[in-house]
Amino acid sequence: MRSRKRGCGGSGIRRRTCAGNRKREFNSLPEIVEHYIGNTRREAEEELACYGSCPSLAETIWRAANAMRPKDGKRHDHQRRIPGSALARLGRRLLVLEENVQNSKSFADLLGLVKETSKDLMHIGELVIYDTALRIGAKLGLYPEEVYLHAGTRKGAAILGVDITRESIATTSLPSAFKDLKPYEIEDVLCIYKSELQSLIRIGKL
């Protein structure tokens, strides 16, 4: 399971990140959503498909927990500052619980399992937990039914005036501009475009 072989036939996909994006100018929330659909949606879908196409659940678990990029097995941007030893410990624990992972009935169940498994691990925070569950969920066909909040997404949601005290929020509590996006895509938008959302507030267009 420690192999760093390419998991998607040498795919050139490199996952988007919530930090370090060049600020862009938008005049409305629908423009932001359109930009996401045109520039990020496909690579996000293809990346999840790569995790889903791993030969076994065990390999998906290992690659997901260790944040291995489909392109080359290197660390995802989201987890680039997390010690590799911490991610490996999470991976080993989840492999021991592979049957439990397999028996997850929903994304919420899977997320809860990853969260419980990592609760005493240093450096494993809510974003690692969410990303790991999302990647594994792609193998199991389990995807979020609500928008889950972590540090970056919570900031974006707060700008929209959404209650951010919960672990997740229903898509119906968000603006209609998001209606054509899946919950995990809305999570992406809230995280990636939080600075642009703030700019819309300042110019009175949100």
pLDDT at 60 over 80: yes
In terms of domains, do 94 and 75 share one?
A: yes
Question: Which whole number is the average pLDDT over 96-101?
Answer: 98
Q: How far apart are CA 69 and CA 34, in angstroms?
A: 26
pLDDT, the chain, mean: 89
Report the predicted TM-score, pTM, of the whole model to 2 decimal places. Answer: 0.88
Cα Rg of the chain, angstroms: 17
Q: Which domain holds residue 63?
A: 42-143
∠ CA(74), CA(76), CA(80), 5° rounding?
90
In terms of domains, do 99 and 87 share one?
A: yes
pLDDT at 152 over 90: no
In terms of domains, do 100 and 164 share one?
A: no
Q: How many domains does the chain have?
A: 2
Question: Which whole number is the average pLDDT over 66-81?
Answer: 84
Band of residue 6 on the pLDDT scale cut at 50, 70, 90: very low
Q: Cα 30 from chain centroid?
A: 22
In terms of domains, do 132 and 160 share one?
A: no
Question: Which whole number is the average pLDDT over 123-149?
Answer: 97
CB 155 within 8 A of CB 193: no
In terms of domains, do 125 and 152 share one?
A: no
Return the DSSP state at 81. T
Which H or E run contains 28? none
pLDDT at 2 over 60: no
- Which of 111, 143, 175 marks a domain boundary? 143
Burial class of residue 64, CB neighbours in 10 A (0-12, 13-18, 19+): buried
pLDDT at 8 over 80: no
Residue 13's nearest CA partner among 36, 44, 34 is: 44
Give a yes or no: residue 87 inside a domain: yes
Give a yes or no: residue 154 inside a domain: yes
The predicted pLDDT at position 22 comes to: 53
- Which of 143, 173, 191 marks a domain boundary? 143
Band of residue 140 on the pLDDT scale cut at 50, 70, 90: very high
